[in-house]
Amino acid sequence: MKRLTYISALLSVASLMFIVSCKGDAQNGSEPAPQVEEIVSEEVINPMGFNPDSLSVTHGTVKSGQFFSTLLNSLGMGASEAYALTQACDSVFDVRTLRVGNTYRAYYSDELRYLVYDRDRMNCVVFDCQPPYGAWVYEKPIRHVDRYADVTISSSLWNDMRAADVSPLLILNLSDIYAWTIDFFGLQKGDRFRVLYQEKLCDGEVVSVDTVRYAVFSHGGTDFPAILFDQKDGGNLWWNEKGESMRKAFLKAPLQYSRISSGFSYARKHPVTRKVQPHTGVDYAAPKGTPVMTIGDGVVTSVKYEGAGGNVVRIKHNSVYSTAYLHLSKYAKGLKAGQRVKQGDVIGYVGSTGRSTGPHLDFRVWKNGTPINPLTMDSPPAEPIKKESMPAFEAAIVEYQDMIEKVAVIEDAKELFGLL
């Protein structure tokens, strides 16, 4: 109902502006007397530090084997001039960091005047290619845009978000927020995400998803809200609608978004030996080098090669639970037995060491020494919101819900008036 009210208000304002404009044109049939204003000419300085409009431009990409000096030579600058520019920009840009595949623009009058090198998606280095030479960093304009997404899974979260014009970067944020609640490897058709978030845009492209303010994941008829609220105590930031922490003693999975290639079973046919034998863990298929995290605080009890298991890290979390991470390509730098680790710390990287048919993580959990299914184990929650913070938390929920209405209406209006 509120959404309809916002839309009606937008249409009313648009209609009123149109009527007022028509009335102004029709009054008395007489034109207002012309007014003379003094025009003060001001030089407009381009944020890049020069005016590109009067120059011709050539676009290019740094090629394999190309150095800064050879790039300048290919653009028409002599060897001695290229050396002078390299020396002049030394404090601003290390020419050894020139990256293959990065783009640049060369601006000319009669000869090369400026070179603009895109260091990353948000920053570029501008080189003045004429004496006395010089260089400076230009930060591209950044826009922060509030957005609301409503995505129902029909094939995969990745594909359905792309189809809904939602940046896949949002998936990583959601997987972090719901890490203790949702197993992202077990999402099902019909599951739904509704998210209020903020995007960072540069040159019209999404470079990051900065903040997720409010989210609701729906699964099997049950909603799982996640609300951003900072108690300013350096602790948890995410809560459900009751003020209970989204953070639990154990993460739902030891690595980010991927897929389950083999589940927990006491009678699995081994893919290498072809024999039926127990597989008391869960296999997560992921690219080699994917970071593997400990699911909870604990002490590392073993870091070593274990034959069929390959490179293995074992962690004791408390007197009840322990975990193991098998087939790693390598361990986290400096990791050793006896070291304390915190939930989410990277302990190694996905690999295919030992008896394995391809890159994956074999993840195992024991409870009181007995193997249990990691996908079905329970985990106790962390501390809830403080009692004195509840009024502010409830006010934040109302504010977010109101923002959802407004952002959704703005996006509807853009589509209605063809502004997308």
Taking only the tens place, the pLDDT of each residue in 316-349 is: 988 788 999 999 999 999 999 999 998 899 999 9
Q: What is the C-alpha separation between 10 and 118, in angstroms, rounded?
A: 40
What does the alpha-carbon distance between residue 148 and residue 411 come to, in Å, rounded to a whole number?
8
- DSSP label of 190: T
- Residue 233: the pLDDT is 76
- Tell me the pLDDT tens digit for each residue of 93-132: 999 999 999 999 999 998 999 999 999 989 999 999 999 9
Where is pLDDT greater, at 350 or 232?
350
Position 273 confidence tier, pLDDT thresholds 50, 70, 90: low
Give, rounded to a whole angstrom, the gap between the first and last alpha carbons of the chain.
24
Domains of the chain from N-terminus onward? 52-139 (3.10.450.350), 141-248+382-420 (3.10.450.350), 259-372 (2.70.70.10)
Residues 6 or more apart whose CB falls under 8 angstroms from that of 216 comprise 192, 193, 194, 195, 223, 224, 225, 226
- The gap from C-alpha 111 to its chain's centroid, in whole angstroms, comes to 41
Structure confidence by residue, pLDDT tens digits, 385-408:
889 999 999 999 999 999 988 887
Whether the predicted pLDDT of 231 surpasses 80: yes
Residue 23 pLDDT: 47
Task: Flag whether pLDDT at 165 surpasses 60.
Answer: yes
Do the bridges between strand 222-228 and strand 238-239 make them parallel or antiparallel, or are there none, so unpaired? antiparallel
More confident residue, 117 or 277: 117
- What is the distance of C-alpha 8 from the center of its chain? 35
**Which DSSP string do the residues of 4-51 spell out, in sequence order?**
HHHHHHHHHHHHHHHHHHHHHHHSTT-PPPP---PPPP-PPPPTTSS-
Is the bond preceding residue 132 a cis peptide, omega within 30 degrees? yes
pTM: 0.59
**pLDDT recorded at residue 63:** 96
- Give the Cα-Cα-Cα angle 45, 49, 55 (nearest 5 degrees): 90
Is the predicted pLDDT of residue 17 greater than 50, yes or no? no
Q: Read off the pLDDT band of 416 (50, 70, 90).
A: low
pLDDT, position 266: 53
Report the alpha-carbon distance of residue 168 to residue 387 in Å, rounded.
36
Q: What is the mean pLDDT of residues 223-251?
A: 87
> Of 223, 221, 226, which is closest to residue 175 (Cα–Cα)?
226
Mean pLDDT, the chain, integer: 83
